[in-house]
């Protein structure tokens, strides 16, 4: 197999033509329907893969093109992409004025960029593109909750402000989140950990649904969420914006303000965001933790309040061919856990203390700080575009809970302990990353060659133990090739090699446990929970795809192999998770997860109708997961059920359907459906699905955008979501009944003193429906999801000129 792929690559390379010809220049100006010039429009010479952008006057000029026929693709978020076939015979060739029309969709839920013109070389993979406007219209408690409206995307959430992505049912370390080109590294393995990302500070977001290891390396086996930075100022300016947000359900208030500008070639910007929220409301008075009824005070999930403070600064230097920007950001958050249960363990609660205020955070709570410093640089030399991202991240996470002696821990917390008695867990992680890429075209080939490297240093602290500290280094190299067979057909191929090395740090319990009981004699010892384990992994993965594009119809297909290196928890866990009544045991002999995936995409778009089908088929030779066994362990496991990391063969398939229809200028409808099925084909859970499988769901949307008179720049839209029951479960999950949910969104752009103020209003869970979310952390203790939530957000653009407001 390996040789045939290498052979194919050589063949692709050999077919390159190196003929040197006279170079031509192409130019033009891009405007919208009203004649306003459009800056920042992406212009891709699809035939050779060369790309450029229009400047702030809407003009563009691309030099150095070879003679002959070219396909020029113009795309801009919110506008219908435009493709033109031109013949270069004279230089310069001026295309004149090109008018881009706004997209038909009232709700620009998905930008309709053809995949071949996308910014990342995802070949035939399926993806969604989301812009800031979409985020403001569908703003959820966290970025992943906002994105979970997209078909195929759901989230694993805890409380109202924390969640992590789930793409087609795969999550945790199987989804890579990339921010500003650097892989975001937090504590992805934990279901109660959120994603440390400020949803106000994002540019466009690209979601790749499906394995993309060939580009992003290990972990991208389930998909990728690629968060681009906010666009930089294009001209001499100083501008900013102020966003205000309020939510009724958890009495949230928040604001985010930014300022950015450009002086000559220097660009700079900054943003602050703040959010503070109280306990979230659920449409019930009582929650049952096992058989014990927990009475809720004013229908609020006790102690789920939180706050979030984010701070960003960036600055850099940009010319037409060179750009280097530094991004600094710090994200800090604190949020409480539901006080009546810590994990699955029912807790006795001092209701007087907890119910005194719905905004305070008592124990148990978590505190996370994530610091990032990133440099993104790019340099254009001829047809080469060299890109570099270097990053440092520091993720510091603490979980506080009063000391409770579990298992063999001493009944009273010893005074001699150095760590505080209420610090249950601490994870301190430092990550150094580097990416280098060169995009270049040779004949009809567009290549991207790149290397990635990462070093992680992880330390742990706290009186409870789950995973050991570890150090990990990894490096990868890839080559991607897009070969344009004809105007309509492109072939994509990629090959990648990765190396990874992990070393876990020895951990010994701070208290003695009973290790044997023979003839009435009890022996105790300080247990070694983790040893100095060392593992090295090597992987070779590949991807092959094709795209066929014929005007209003396009088809794509991709097949590829992906991998994921086992994480420290899977290799070296050996501790009791008292909150789950489980003794979790890693397997140091696990091999890297390997998966083969086939993706297809069919798209038809003409005038009023747009139909998209995205089926996928996926096979894992060894899916690693935490398998609950029938056994209990009363020595190392302190009497708890043994959960072992195991690998099994897994088959997954499913897909998404999107249908958009525009009835008239003002009315439009949208139907989204998603389905995923997973089955284990071997091992002790043969016949069972995978945990956290999202149920089939269907979303129907109706939008009204009157676009005239007072209601110009207004929209009103209703989402009806139908989720099927999830009866495909694996221990220790519970079956989840289906539900119907109605969300309403409306917005209006108001002109005040000549400045447009955007008002967005949402009512989430309009009918205050009591329902359970199968992928929620609190599902196992039967906690229903948040009740009705009115979300109001205001966005005020600020423009300064010569430091004066206009």
Partner 1 sequence: MKKKLRLIGAVAAAMCILWSCEKDDEDKAVDNDAPVIDLGADAFPVQCSTLKRGETFTFKTKFNDNVELGTYSIDIHHNFDHHSHSTEFEECDLQPKKVPVKPFLFIKSYDIPSGQKTYEAVQQIEVPADIDPGDYHFMISVSDHVGWNTIKGLSIQIVE
Which of 687, 737, 756, 797 is in the footprint of partner 1 by CB under 8 A? Answer: 687
Question: Does 311 interact with partner 1 (rule: CB under 8 A)?
Answer: no
259 in contact with partner 1 (CB under 8 A): no
Q: Is 347 in the site for partner 1 (CB under 8 A)?
A: yes
375 in Cβ contact with 338 (< 8 Å): no
Backbone angles phi, psi at 22, to 5 degrees: -65, 140
Choice between 696 and 759, CB closer to partner 1: 696
Instruction: Write down the residue that tokens 């795309």 correspond to.
Output: 75
Among 411, 519, 664, 805, interactor with partner 1 by CB under 8 A: 411
Residue 482 touching partner 1 (CB under 8 A): no
Cβ pair 478, 214 in contact under 8 A: yes
Q: Which residue from 19, 20, 291, 486 is in contact with partner 1, where contact means CB under 8 A?
A: 291
- Of the candidate spans 312-320, 483-491, 685-693, 745-753, the one that interacts with partner 1 by CB under 8 A turns out to be 685-693
Which residues on neighbouring strands pair with residue 328, listed in sequence order?
313, 373
Structure tokens at 419: 């760590």
Task: Choose between 48 and 110: whose C-beta lies nearer to partner 1.
Answer: 110
CB 299 within 8 A of CB 287: no
The CA–CA distances, whole Å, from 239 to 23, 36, 671, 746 equal 39, 19, 38, 26
Should residue 526 be labelled a site residue for partner 1 when binding is judged by CB under 8 A? Answer: no
Is 351 a binder of partner 1 (CB under 8 A)? no
Verify binding: residue 352, partner 1, rule CB under 8 A: no
Q: Which is nearer to partner 1, 615 or 706 (CB)?
A: 615
Q: How far is the CB of 483 from partner 1 (least distance, A)?
A: 24
CA distance 504 to 266: 44
The residue among 34 and 291 lying less far from partner 1, judged by its C-beta, is 291
Q: For residue 320, with 0-12 CB atoms within 10 Å meaning exposed, 13-18 middle and 19 or more buried, which class applies?
A: exposed
Q: Does position 257 bind partner 1 by CB under 8 A? A: no
Q: Between 396 and 553, name the residue whose CB sits nearer to partner 1.
A: 553
Q: Which of 506, 735, 755, 770 binds partner 1 (CB under 8 A)?
A: 735
DSSP β-bridge partners for residue 257: 242, 272
Nearer to partner 1, 493 or 575 (CB): 575
How is residue 63 written in tokens?
């030099």
Between 442 and 696, CB nearer to partner 1? 696
Maximal C-alpha separation, the chain: 98
Residue (406 or 457) nearer to partner 1, CB:
406
Size of the site for partner 1 (CB under 8 A): 59
Determine, following the binding rule CB under 8 A, whether residue 778 of this chain makes contact with partner 1.
Answer: no
CB of 255 to partner 1, least distance (A): 39
d(C-alpha 795, C-alpha 544), whole Å = 43
Any contact of residue 313 with partner 1 (CB under 8 A)?
Answer: no
Question: Minimum distance between the CB of residue 723 and partner 1, rounded to whole angstroms?
Answer: 15
Q: Does 506 sit near partner 1 (CB under 8 A)?
A: no
Binder to partner 1 among 240, 270, 315, 346 (CB under 8 A)? 346
Strand order in the sheet with 153-158: 153-158, 162-167, 170-171
Q: Taking a C-beta distance cutoff of 8 angstroms, is the pair 583, 641 a contact?
A: yes
Binding partner 1 (rule: CB under 8 A), the pick from 189, 581, 596, 598 is 581
- Nearest to partner 1 of 460, 576 (CB atom): 576
> In sequence order, which residues have a C-beta less than 8 Å from that of residue 284 and are 6 or more positions away?
296, 299, 770, 784
> What is the x/- site pattern for partner 1, positions 606-645, by CB under 8 A?
-----x-x-x-----------xxxxxxxx--xxxxx----
Applying CB under 8 A, does 364 fall inside the site for partner 1? no
Calpha distance 281→275 (Å, rounded): 17
Asked if residue 331 lies in contact with residue 310, where contact means CB atoms within 8 angstroms, the answer is yes
Asked whether position 792 contacts partner 1 by CB under 8 A, the answer is: no
Residue 558 binds partner 1, judged by CB under 8 A: no
Closest CA to 438 of 427, 425, 451: 451
Looking only at the bridges linking them, the beta strands covering 59-65 and 50-53 are unpaired
Q: What are phi and psi of 122, to 5 degrees?
A: -90, 0
**Which residue matches tokens 């795809």?**
545
- Laid out side by side, the sheet with 50-53 consists of 50-53, 42-45, 68-75, 82-88
HSE-CB at 793 with a 13 A cutoff on CA atoms is 27
Closest distance between partner 1 and the C-beta of residue 336, in Å?
17
402 binds partner 1 (CB under 8 A): yes
Tokens 């950015």 belong to residue: 260
Which of 480, 507, 636, 688 touches partner 1 (CB under 8 A)? 688
* Interface residue list for partner 1 (CB under 8 A): 289-293, 340, 345-348, 402, 404-408, 411-412, 514, 553, 555, 581, 600, 602, 604, 611, 613, 615, 627-634, 637-641, 653-655, 657, 675, 677, 679, 684-685, 687-688, 696, 727-729, 731-732, 735
């Amino acid at each position: 197999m390996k040789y045939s792929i290498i052979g194919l690559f050589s063949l692709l390379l050999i077919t390159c033509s190196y003929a040197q010809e006279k170079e031509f220049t192409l130019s033009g100006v891009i405007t919208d329907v009203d004649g306003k010039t459009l800056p920042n429009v992406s212009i891709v010479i699809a035939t050779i893969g060369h790309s450029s952008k229009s400047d702030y006057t809407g003009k563009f000029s691309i030099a150095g093109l070879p003679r002959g026929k070219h396909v020029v693709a113009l795309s801009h978020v919110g506008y219908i992409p435009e493709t033109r076939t031109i013949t270069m015979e004279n230089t310069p060739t001026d295309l004149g004025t090109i008018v881009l029309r706004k997209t038909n969709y009232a709700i620009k839920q998905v930008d309709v960029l053809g995949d071949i013109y996308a910014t990342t070389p995802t070949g035939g993979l399926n993806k969604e593109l989301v812009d800031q406007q979409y985020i403001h219209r569908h703003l959820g408690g966290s970025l992943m909750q906002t994105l979970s409206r997209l078909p195929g995307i759901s989230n694993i959430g805890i409380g109202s402000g924390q969640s992590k992505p789930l793409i087609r049912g795969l999550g945790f370390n199987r989804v890579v989140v990339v921010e500003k080109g650097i892989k975001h590294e937090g504590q992805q393995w934990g279901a109660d950990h959120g994603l440390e990302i400020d949803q106000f500070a994002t540019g466009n977001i690209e979601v790749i649904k499906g394995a993309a290891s060939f580009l992003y390396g290990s972990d991208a086996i389930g998909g990728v969420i690629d968060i681009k930075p906010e666009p930089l100022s294009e001209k001499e300016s100083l501008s900013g914006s102020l966003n205000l947000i309020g939510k009724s359900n958890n009495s949230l208030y928040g604001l985010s303000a930014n300022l950015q500008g450009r002086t000559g070639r220097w660009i700079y910007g900054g943003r602050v965001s703040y959010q503070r929220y109280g306990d979230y409301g659920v449409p019930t008075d009582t929650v049952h933790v096992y058989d014990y009824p927990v009475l809720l005070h004013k229908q609020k999930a006790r102690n789920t309040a939180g706050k979030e403070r984010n701070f960003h600064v960036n600055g850099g230097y940009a010319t037409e061919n060179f750009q280097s920007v530094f991004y600094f950001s710090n994200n800090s958050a604190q949020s409480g856990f539901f006080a009546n249960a810590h994990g699955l363990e029912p807790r006795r609660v001092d209701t007087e203390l907890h119910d005194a205020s719905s905004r305070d955070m008592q124990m148990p709570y978590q505190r996370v700080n994530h610091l990032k410093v990133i440099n993104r640089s790019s340099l254009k030399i001829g047809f080469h575009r060299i890109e570099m991202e270097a990053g440092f991240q520091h993720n510091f996470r603490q979980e506080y809970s009063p000391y409770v002696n579990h298992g063999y821990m001493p009944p009273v917390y010893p005074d001699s302990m150095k760590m505080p008695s209420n610090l249950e867990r601490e994870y301190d992680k430092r990550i150094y990353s580097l990416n280098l890429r060169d995009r270049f075209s040779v004949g009809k080939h567009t290549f991207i060659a790149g290397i990635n490297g990462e070093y992680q240093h992880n330390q742990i602290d706290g009186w409870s133990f789950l995973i050991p500290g570890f150090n990990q280094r990894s490096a990868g190299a890839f080559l991607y090739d897009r070969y344009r067979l004809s105007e309509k057909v492109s072939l994509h191929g990629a090959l990648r090699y990765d190396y990874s090395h992990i070393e876990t740090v020895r951990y010994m319990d701070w208290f003695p446990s009973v290790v044997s009981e023979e003839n009435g004699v009890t022996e105790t010892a300080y247990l070694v929970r983790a040893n100095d384990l060392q593992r090295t992994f090597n992987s070779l993965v590949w991807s092959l795809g094709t795209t066929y594009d014929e005007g209003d119809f396009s088809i794509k297909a991709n097949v590829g192999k992906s991998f994921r290196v086992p994480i420290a928890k899977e290799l070296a866990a050996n501790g009791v998770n008292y909150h789950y009544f489980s003794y979790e045991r890693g397997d140091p002999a696990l091999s890297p997860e390997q998966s083969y995936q086939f993706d297809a995409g069919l798209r038809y778009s003409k005038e009023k109708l747009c139909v998209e089908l995205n089926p996928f088929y996926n096979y894992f030779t060894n899916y690693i997961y935490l398998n609950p066994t029938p056994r209990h362990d009363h020595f190392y496991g302190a009497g708890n059920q043994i959960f072992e990391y195991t690998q099994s063969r897994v088959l997954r398939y499913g897909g998404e359907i999107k249908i958009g229809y525009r009835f008239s200028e003002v009315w439009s409808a949208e139907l989204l459906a998603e389905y995923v099925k997973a089955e284990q084909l071997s091992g002790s859970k043969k016949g069972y699905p995978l945990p956290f499988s999202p149920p089939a769901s269907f979303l129907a949307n109706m939008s009204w955008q009157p676009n005239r008179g007072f209601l110009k720049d207004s929209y009103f839209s209703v989402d009806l979501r139908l989720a099927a029951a999830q009866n495909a479960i694996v221990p220790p999950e519970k079956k989840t009944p289906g539900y119907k949910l109605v969300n309403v969104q409306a917005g209006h752009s108001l002109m005040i003193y000549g400045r447009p103020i955007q008002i967005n209003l949402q009512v989430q869970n309009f009918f205050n429906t009591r329902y359970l979310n199968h992928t929620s952390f609190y599902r196992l203790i039967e906690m229903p999801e948040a009740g009705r939530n009115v979300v109001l957000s205001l966005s005020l653009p600020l423009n300064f000129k010569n430091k004066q407001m206009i």
